[in-house]
């Protein structure tokens, strides 16, 4: 019988101290940060769940690889290792290295996009949408309807609505479609997996209409875990082979290596079509760097090549997915409204359900983000109307479909007792839920406002005189 406790399948060789701030100190830190945790200093944070991006702990093998990094300007050995690792994993011949995911997106989508073009996705990640819209094109999200019900159990809630995809391709005319982008796992929609069956269906629709099909593969290993455990026919297929099969259905892939490549910086895109690669390569050289390093140093490329191998280790993936699920299960049992089932890299809290008394234009998600920081020094991100809200002509908020708060778990960084602490903080959050007030925005930029917006806590409304 295997033991029920799933331990971290690694030992710790190097540690980073955490400053244990007091609640009073955190109140001052948060005020100074304009109530936007993106503006906090990291030493002011106890548990950092802001993102799983670039926050992974590298392995001893990766650190050894750092020393092996070949810093040659052209034809670096480390580049050849990274290129080979990506070609073997994805099956795509043409690999273009970039300093991170959004640089790959900017190059590829500014080439495929532009005015009059439209992109469809299960959900465009925020930088994906921003790059597409910045090119003048339109980005339309078409997740399956089940994804909009935060408590509905569905094994592949990250799937794309393929019926709608075909209707929309015909409506917009295939020649105006920049690309269909499948985000695996679906980050903004809850870290939910995408099935192989759904990917096959998308692939055949794209082939039928001659539309480019791109996989945003930031969390491809985590997605493969779910396919093996939830989709019939894949029980005995290795995680790597599942990923390989998924790539074989697409024309290309974009990756932020800061996720499942287990590194702190890096990205790439890889495409089947040499003509497309050639067209993008010029833009790569103008803005990122020569085609054998993009925006990366040799040591980064070395660590990516190793990380892409380590991430498919079955013991690692089991620990990774199960520990995220453990946090979600505990919160759910306590009565915290969370997105179900729990996704691969994050637990999403439904802040609208937690704080039903806070109007949507007073941002219940931001209220929870601030509370978690004040009470426990936990930093996390709002994924709701702050991130995706728009305004109508009268500057009235058009809220996002959901107001979620994301607790994103860095890879190989926190232990079980850190997670137990977070669970305890939530007991306090639940106790105080009815007292919590909303926030107003006092400053915001035009694009990606959640990174730099300023907020102000709202005072209690004066009771109406009878």
Ligand X SMILES: *Cc1c(COP(=O)(O)O)cnc(C)c1O
Write out the residues near ligand X by the rule CB under 6 A. 53, 100-102, 125, 127-128, 183, 187, 216, 218, 256, 258-259, 267
Q: Which is nearer to ligand X, 267 or 438 (CB)?
A: 267
User: Least distance in Å: CB of 99 to ligand X?
Assistant: 8
Phi–psi pair at 52, nearest 5 degrees: -100, 10
DSSP 383: E
Using DSSP's 3-state secondary structure scheme, residue 35 falls into coil
Distance between CA atoms of 387 and 377, rounded to whole angstroms? 22
Least CB distance to ligand X at residue 181 (A)? 9
Q: How many Å is the maximal CA-CA distance in the chain?
A: 79
Which position has the token pair 């919590």?
436
* 76 or 128: CB nearest ligand X: 128
Residue 312 tokens read as 């498919």
The smaller minimum CB distance to ligand X, of residues 209 and 447, is found at: 447
Q: Which residue is nearest to ligand X (CB)?
A: 101
- Quote the least distance from Cβ 289 to ligand X, whole Å: 16
Q: Find the shortest distance in angstroms from Cβ 130 to ligand X.
A: 10
Rounded CA gap, 87 and 75, in Å?
A: 16
CB of 246 to ligand X, least distance (A): 15
Closer of 130 and 367 to ligand X (Cβ) = 130
CB of 307 to ligand X, least distance (A): 14
DSSP string, 167-220: HHHHHH-GGGEEEEEEESSBTTTTSB---HHHHHHHHHHHHHHT--EEEE-TTH
Task: Give whichever of 45 and 383 is closer to ligand X, judged by the CB atom.
Answer: 383
| Distance in Å, CB of 424 to ligand X, minimum | 29
Cα separation, 240 vs 313, in Å, equals 9
The DSSP letter of residue 4 is: S
Burial 83-102 (b: 16+ CB within 10 A, else e): bebbeebbebebbbbbbbbb
User: Is 455 in contact with 36 (CB distance < 8 Å)?
Assistant: yes
Nearer to ligand X by C-beta: 101 or 365? 101
**Where in 250-377 does DSSP place strands (E)?**
252-256, 267-271, 346-350
Sign of CA dihedral 177, 183, 184, 189: negative
DSSP annotation of 458: P
Cβ proximity to ligand X: between 102 and 450 the closer is 102
Q: Which residues of 367-390 are buried (b: 16+ CB within 10 A; e: fewer)?
A: bbbbbbbbbbbbbbbbbbbbbbbe
- Closest distance to ligand X from the beta carbon of 324 (Å): 15
Nearer to ligand X, 218 or 347 (CB): 218
Nearer to ligand X, 127 or 237 (CB): 127
User: What's the closest the beta carbon of residue 375 comes to ligand X, in angstroms?
Assistant: 27
| CB of 227 closer than 8 Å to CB of 21 | no
């Amino acid at each position: 019988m295997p033991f029920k406790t799933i331990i971290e399948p690694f030992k710790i060789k190097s540690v980073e101290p955490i400053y244990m701030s007091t609640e009073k100190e955190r109140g001052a830190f948060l005020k100074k940060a304009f109530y936007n945790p993106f503006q906090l200093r990291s030493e002011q944070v106890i548990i950092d769940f802001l993102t799983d991006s670039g926050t992974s702990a590298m392995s001893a093998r990766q650190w050894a690889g750092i020393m092996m990094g070949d810093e040659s300007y052209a034809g670096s050995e480390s580049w050849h290792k990274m290129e080979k690792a990506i070609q073997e994993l994805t099956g795509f011949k043409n690999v273009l290295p970039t300093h991170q995911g959004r640089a790959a997106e900017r190059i590829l989508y500014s080439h495929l996009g532009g005015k009059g073009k439209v992109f469809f996705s299960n959900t465009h990640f925020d930088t994906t949408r921003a790059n597409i819209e910045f090119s003048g094109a339109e980005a339309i999200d078409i997740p399956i309807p089940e994804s909009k019900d935060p408590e509905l159990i569905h094994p592949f809630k990250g799937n794309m609505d393929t019926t709608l995809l075909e209707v929309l391709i015909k409506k917009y005319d295939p020649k105006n479609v920049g690309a269909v982008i499948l985000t695996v796992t679906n980050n903004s929609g809850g870290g939910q997996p995408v099935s192989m069956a759904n990917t096959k269906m998308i692939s055949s629709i794209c082939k039928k209409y001659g539309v480019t099909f791109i996989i945003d593969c930031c969390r491809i290993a985590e997605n493969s875990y779910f396919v093996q455990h939830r989709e019939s026919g894949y029980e005995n297929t290795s995680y790597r082979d599942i990923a390989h099969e998924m790539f074989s259905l697409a024309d290309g892939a974009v990756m932020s290596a800061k996720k499942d490549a287990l590194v702190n910086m890096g990205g790439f895109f890889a495409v089947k079509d040499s003509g497309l690669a050639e067209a993008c390569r010029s833009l790569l050289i103008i803005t990122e760097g020569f085609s054998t390093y993009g925006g990366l140093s040799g040591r980064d490329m070395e660590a990516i090549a190793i990380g892409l191998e380590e991430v498919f280790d079955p013991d690692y993936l089991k620990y990774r997915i199960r520990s995220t699920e453990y946090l979600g299960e505990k919160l759910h049992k306590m009565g915290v409204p969370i997105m179900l089932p729990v996704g691969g890299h994050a637990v999403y809290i439904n802040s609208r359900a937690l704080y039903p008394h806070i109007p949507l234009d007073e941002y219940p998600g931001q209220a929870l983000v601030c509370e978690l920081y004040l009470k426990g020094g936990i930093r996390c991100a709002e994924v709701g109307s702050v991130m995706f809200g728009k305004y109508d002509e009268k500057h009235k908020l058009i809220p996002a479909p959901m107001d979620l708060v994301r607790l994103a778990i860095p890879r190989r960084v926190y232990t079980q007792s850190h997670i137990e602490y977070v669970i305890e903080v939530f007991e306090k959050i639940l106790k105080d839920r009815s007292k919590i007030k909303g926030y107003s925005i006092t400053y915001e930029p035009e694009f990606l406002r959640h990174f730099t917006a300023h907020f102000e806590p709202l005072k209690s409304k004066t009771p109406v005189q009878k």
